[in-house]
Amino acid sequence: MGFFSKIKEGLKKTREKMSSSVESMLHSFTTIDESLFEELEELLVMGDVGVPTAEHICQELRKKVKEKGVTDPNEIMGMLRETVAEMLRGGEELQIGTKPSVILVIGVNGVGKTTTIGKIASRLTKDGKKVILGAADTFRAAAIEQLEVWAERSGTDMIKQAEGSDPASVVFDTIAAAKARNADVIICDTAGRLHNKKNLMDELAKIRRIIDRELPDADKEVLLVLDATTGQNAVSQAREFQAAAGITGIVLTKLDGTARGGVVLAIRESLGIPVKFIGVGEQVDDLQPFNSDEFAEALFARQED
């Protein structure tokens, strides 16, 4: 299956819920008027885009319709794809130009964080990067074991300590090992902390301070892994983590299992954080680098496409 086909298949449930509803609605109109935009806004909100984002999209469409003198409702779908792609565009590429660079991966339990790390490590290794993993989720022995499996699978080194060790200490050791082994990229796992637990957020801030102190000039990515099936709750999580950790990008997993893929738009619009990867399946290559144009095309593909 090709790159675009994977994304299109992964967004099938979201597309069936949102795109088909929008397309049917547009077919019911013979002219473009305010009631069309009101119905479109309602359908976008139902697709987990969120109220502010739906309002913004419709406002942009009104401008385009006026500027281009569009009168046919059937032209709205193409303009909708274009508007969504524009909103999502920018910042999708990982910033890992220094040697070493650091990717800190955060998120609550159950979102697919450790699996995401393994898949990113596999992708970077295939690209010729020397990657080293840091098992800084020391609260669960299973997390360390799971990361070990991915380290073996992706052919990467891994630094760990005993369960219950200080996570910041693991990060410190991983940075030291990366310097000694001339690694290109450090990827650190972290505990699946609940976003309303202050002590765990403080620990995350401590890890950030260690990284900034030991590698002040390195490129640093802080990727928040979110489960797309949680819909608007993902936006709340992102807001809390952004305040504590200074997120640079989002990884949205389990898009293939939900009709709530519109939350990508809500996150980008409300927080200004770019989406870096999307998960559209269980296989290693089902974690895809985010492409705004292809996402919009797959999300609003016509039903006969």
d(CA 234, CA 10): 18
The answer to the question of whether 271 is labelled as a binding residue is no
The answer to the question of whether 217 is labelled as a binding residue is no
d(CA 185, CA 93): 15
Strand locations in the chain, DSSP E?
101-106, 131-136, 157-159, 185-190, 220-227, 249-253, 275-279, 287-289
The answer to the question of whether 113 is labelled as a binding residue is yes
The answer to the question of whether 110 is labelled as a binding residue is yes
The answer to the question of whether 31 is labelled as a binding residue is no
The answer to the question of whether 69 is labelled as a binding residue is no
The answer to the question of whether 253 is labelled as a binding residue is yes
Q: Which residue is it, tokens 């990113």? A: 120
The answer to the question of whether 182 is labelled as a binding residue is no
The answer to the question of whether 109 is labelled as a binding residue is yes
The answer to the question of whether 114 is labelled as a binding residue is yes
The answer to the question of whether 116 is labelled as a binding residue is no
3-state secondary structure of 102: strand
The answer to the question of whether 108 is labelled as a binding residue is yes
Q: Bridge partners of 221?
A: 103
d(CA 47, CA 52): 13
d(CA 203, CA 190): 10
Q: Bridge partners of 106?
A: 224
The answer to the question of whether 255 is labelled as a binding residue is yes
3-state secondary structure of 134: strand
Q: List the structure tokens of 11.
A: 């967004």
The answer to the question of whether 258 is labelled as a binding residue is no
Binding positions? 107-114, 189-193, 253-256
Q: Can you say which residues are annotated as belonging to the binding site for GTP?
A: 107-114, 189-193, 253-256
